Amino acid sequence: MLAMDASGKTTGVGDATVQTRAVLESIRAVVETAGGSMADVTYNAIFLKDLGDYAAMNAVYKEYFPSAFPARYCIRADLVRPEFLVEISSIAHLPRPL
């Protein structure tokens, strides 16, 4: 997920905190639509344009995963658009309906 609104425009340009929140809200929306919650997220791959944004990203991340972090890694990477600061790829484990 990237920090984009419904029309594909980047949100939070220049602000890793805003972009992290937008990305995690998008992840939450997908997981909840599938019938789960953020507690079902088991793994996150986090990509930061600048590792100097790690503390800002991590502060927001703790809001969405307050009790126990899912497994994760974080690397510095060039992202698809220069204005993107944060990208997160998540895996959630949801029980199959009976």
Instruction: Map out the domains of the chain with their CATH numbers.
Output: 16-92 (3.30.1330.40)
Q: Is residue 17's pLDDT more than 70? A: yes
Compute the average pLDDT of residues 12-16. 97
How do beta strands 41-48 and 71-76 pair?
parallel
Query: Running DSSP on this structure, what letter comes out for residue 53?
Result: G
Task: Indicate if 17 belongs to the active site.
Answer: no
Mean pLDDT across 49-74: 96
Tokens 């997908």 sit on residue: 30
Q: Which of 1, 13, 18, 74 is catalytic?
A: 74
Question: What's the pLDDT score for residue 64?
Answer: 97
